[in-house]
A and B are shown apart, each in its own frame.
Chain A
Amino acid sequence: MSSPHSGPRSLSESELIMGDPGPTGRFGEFGGRFVPESLVPACMELEASFRRAWIDPAFRRELDHLLHSYGGRPTPVTECLRLSEELGVRVLLKREDLAHTGSHKINNVVGQALLARRMGKKRLIAETGAGQHGVATATAAALFGMECVVYMGAVDMERQALNVFRMELLGAEVRSVESGSRTLKDAVNEALRDWVASVDTTHYCLGSVMGPHPYPWMVRELQRVVGDESRAQCREILDGKDPDMVVACAGGGSNAAGTFAGFADGTSSVLVGVEAAGGAAMHNGIPGVLHGMRSALIQDESGQILEAESISAGLDYPGIGPEHAHLAAIGRARYETADDTEVVEAFQRLSKTEGIIPALESAHAVAWVIRMAGTEVLPTGSTVLITLSGRGDKDVAQVRDILRRGETTAR
């Protein structure tokens, strides 16, 4: 699968920066499989099934075909001419907003649904924050004729009411999660609780590069298509060169991981993940264990997990995928934050300058680039690729309300 551009020699999986984490699912000191014994056999079975499928040409052909004919891949890379001129840096957008269901989430769920069918599972469960992963899972379940239950925090159901209705239209049952902070973290807890009791018939379609092994690796591999496409597309636009910087927003971090996977090995592009200031696990977190993984977590001095708070439901998570913690530890990627105020500004600016309404999640990446353009971090004349992970239709009502109130809460 290696392209003629991938370097002087092909590296083996274990030599790659973003390669195979092995049977223990370790990315350096992060990752692992910290789940109750009841779920260990299911995680092992899933890992074995994915390993077989991922090297099976028939599986890859079917996945590629579905992503193309159903998912709308490849998505284009758009050069932002007006924004580039204003910022003095050349801004390229990887347009995951144009994928079916409006975000990169479809890449992961089509792959996992295909895998679930191979494993003989007839029911999909998922957690969702902003609702994008829930919508994508409901979509895949409809496509494959599977039962689908989506767990969503009560707070998120309120701020993303339209996505709740979308999931129901697609035939999924949305279950309101009333425990804890009633957001994404608690939806993951409920989905895991469901899975413990239903593992014989059910596949847990986890939405990000988090959770127990093999999920962080499997979801990154299923999202790698974003980075692989981007790298080739950037080379066409940039006369065979890679962008100086590659930027993506990160909650759990799946669009960032998929994007980085295309650049981590074989390029010198600077990789930047942008977290929500109110949920910045890489900035405010320390290593801990939650939801089956060891990673950076926002927690108190006893180890109780704290609630993340952000304008975007999709980034409201107190942790981040373990591979991101590793990429930061080895210095291959850096992690920055954007606050609610600049995110709402970036949301409007991209809409007005380019005619592209970004998801609030994606607007974090845009906001950081806007702030950094022209500084020594992102000097005038440099090139930057931003993964626009999703479109902002779901956020329009929320942003309207914020602008009417004339305020955003700066963090």
Chain B
Amino acid sequence: MIGKPIAPGRGVLETTLRDRRQSGDKLLVPYVTGGMDDEWLVTVEAVAGAGADAIEVGIPFSDPMIDGPVIQEASLRALGRGTTPAGILADLGRLHIGIPVVVMTYYNLIYRAGHQRIAGLMAESGVSGAIIPDLPLEELEPWAMAADDAGIATVLLVAPSTPPERIAAICLRSRGFVYGVGRMGVTGEQSSLAGSAREVAERVRAATELPVCIGIGVSTPEQAAAVCEVADGVVVGSALVRRLLEGAGPVGAAEFVSSLRVALDGG
């Protein structure tokens, strides 16, 4: 692992995000679909350099049921280019961006590869965490144990529909940070921030010391700033991926992420 700015291991994601929070910064976690075009790794580097605190990389799945049209399209393009989970992880292993990488994917790709095997591959690639939205608390354990052993932080989600006692249990098992789902719905841009985004942030903040980032339905610098009045940070996916689908390229992606950074920094 010589030469890796971020050593794989337990707590890298959480430590990094806590440190940033400690210094008074809001956390910015942009999402890019892995393999969506020839330049995606350059995009990841550009986004990392534009003020991201961690980056979420989607490993595309044929049936992304929690994703709206934008991420669906990006996934389709990626799969059309022959993208595989192993290929994405190998690519990420060559990346030197200085911030934690969290992969987001669906459980069948994990299950098919084998829990221990893919957790090991993630660790070897310098990945710090994983978000698996179709793996709820009750079904989590076989994966989470393999992930813990490999030093991969399994980030769990809290939804607007999650009852209080369940929030506590989810926060207890989540690693790295807690992902608050901003609205009831699939991923996608919204013209205004749902009231549920702030409510979820408040409820999760009250339940855990872990950093709390809100995603799904956070689309603009204004919305990001508004939700961060309560939350520790934001995950921004569809708004960025749409720009990439429209041809913004690494430069355009970095510009958008910079605008989010400026808004979060109070600018």
Contact = CB atoms under 8 A, between A and B. Distances in A.
A36 B76 CA distance: 21
B184 A196 contact: yes
B185 A196 contact: yes
A6 interface: no
B63 A185 contact: yes
Contacts of B156: 37
Given A37-B159, A37-B162, A40-B162, 5 more contacts: A36-B159, A179-B76, A196-B185, A196-B186, A289-B134
B64 to A, nearest CB: 8
Given A32-B139, A288-B112, A179 B72 contact: yes
Interface string B205-222: 000000000000000000
A302 B137 CA distance: 24
B192 interface: no
A41 B162 contact: yes
B121 interface: no
Contacts of B64: 189
B15 interface: no
Contacts of B157: 36-37
A165 to B, nearest CB: 27
A126 B62 CA distance: 21
Interface stretch (B23-31, B42-50, B103-111, B225-233): B103-111
Contacts of A180: 62-63
A33 B138 contact: yes
Contact of A35 (B86, B110, B136, B163): B136
B61 interface: yes
Contacts of B135: 34
Chain B CB count within 10 A is highest, among A35, A185, A200, for A35
Given A32-B139, A38-B184, A290 B63 contact: yes
Max count, chain A CB within 10 A of own CB: residue among B86, B158, B159: B159
A379 interface: no
A180 B76 CA distance: 8
Interface string A290-310: 111010010101111110000
A41 B112 contact: no
Contacts of B181: 36-38
A36 B67 CA distance: 11
7 contacts: A33-B139, A37-B161, A179-B76, A193-B65, A197-B184, A294-B111, A305-B108
Contacts of A301: 112
A305 B161 contact: no
B62 A304 contact: yes
A37 B136 contact: yes
Contacts of B170: 37
A221 B186 CA distance: 31
A37 B111 contact: no
Nearest to B135: A34
Interface string A187-206: 00100110011011000000
Given A180-B62, A303-B113, A305-B62, A24 B138 contact: yes
Contacts of B62: 180, 304-306
B68 interface: yes
Q: How large is the interface on A (under 10, 10 to 19, 20 to 34, 35 or more residues)?
A: 35 or more
Interface string A30-55: 00111111111110000000000000
B86 A302 contact: yes
B66 interface: yes
Given A193-B68, A196-B66, A304-B62, A289 B184 contact: no
B98 to A, nearest CB: 29
Interface residues of B, number: 41
B63 A189 contact: yes
A226 to B, nearest CB: 30
Given A37-B136, A41-B161, A192-B65, A299 B184 contact: no
A302 B185 CA distance: 27
Interface in A271-294: 287-292, 294
Contacts of B112: 288, 299, 301-303
A289 B136 contact: no
Interface in A19-33: 24, 32-33
Contacts of B110: 303
A197 B170 CA distance: 21
A288 B159 CA distance: 25
B108 A299 contact: yes
B186 A193 contact: yes
Contacts of A36: 65-66, 133-134, 136, 157, 159, 181
Contacts of A33: 136, 138-139
Nearest to B59: A302
A197 B161 contact: no
Given A180-B63, A197-B186, A34 B162 contact: no
The winner among A192, A297, A299, A302 for most chain B CB atoms within 10 A is A302
A37 B260 CA distance: 27
B161 A289 contact: no
B159 A289 contact: no
B191 to A, nearest CB: 15
A336 B128 CA distance: 45
Interface string B155-172: 011111111001000100
Nearest to B161: A41
Contacts of B163: 41
Which among B76, B134, B156, B166 has the greatest number of chain A C-beta atoms within 10 A? B134
Contacts of B133: 36-37
Given A38-B184, A197-B186, A303-B113, A291 B159 contact: no
Contacts of B34: none
Given A193-B186, A197-B186, A302 B139 contact: no
Contact of B134 (A34, A185, A200): A34
A36 B86 CA distance: 24
A180 B156 CA distance: 27
B85 interface: yes
Nearest to B60: A304
Contact of A38 (B76, B85, B161): B161
Interface in A110-124: none
